[in-house]
Amino acid sequence: MFTIYHNPRCKKSRAGLQYLREKGLPFQVVEYLKDPLTKEALHKLLQQLNLAPGEVVRKQEEMYRKELKGKQFSREEWIDILVESPKLLQRPIILKGHKAVVADPPENLDPLL
């Protein structure tokens, strides 16, 4: 079973969801803007992605450009920022078992198949 952390308003996230459907893969959807990740869940997801928090930040978001760009944050500070502002999280993130990928482009999912 796959889990997709999804924002239905995002074209890239919808493309990831469509890719799962086209492959006929079983999945569950987590709309992380409606049901935000806890600090603990985000820590675990980052481990599964094998990425640092700063690597999953959407740098094209207005909030990032206006408030965060050029500033240095610790791992815990990034975690706090992402938990408070989940819109900054790259999407879609697709999880299977103990591994996860940022599925942009959707073909990034292929190593989990």
Domain ranges of the chain: 2-112
CA distance 40 to 25: 27
> Which one is catalytic: 4, 6, 7, 10?
10
pLDDT, position 13: 96
Distances (CA, A) of 57 to 20, 24, 25, 110: 23, 29, 27, 22
pLDDT, position 26: 97
Give residue 27's pLDDT band: very low, low, confident or very high (50, 70, 90).
very high
* Domain 2-112, second-level architecture: 3-Layer(aba) Sandwich (3.40)
Question: In the annotation, is 58 catalytic?
Answer: no
Query: Sign of dihedral through CA atoms 21, 98, 86, 78?
Result: negative
CB 94 within 8 A of CB 70: no
Strand spans (E) along the chain: 2-6, 27-31, 93-96, 99-102
**Among 38, 57, 40, CA closest to 102:** 57
pLDDT, position 18: 97
pTM of the predicted model as reported, rounded to 2 decimal places: 0.92
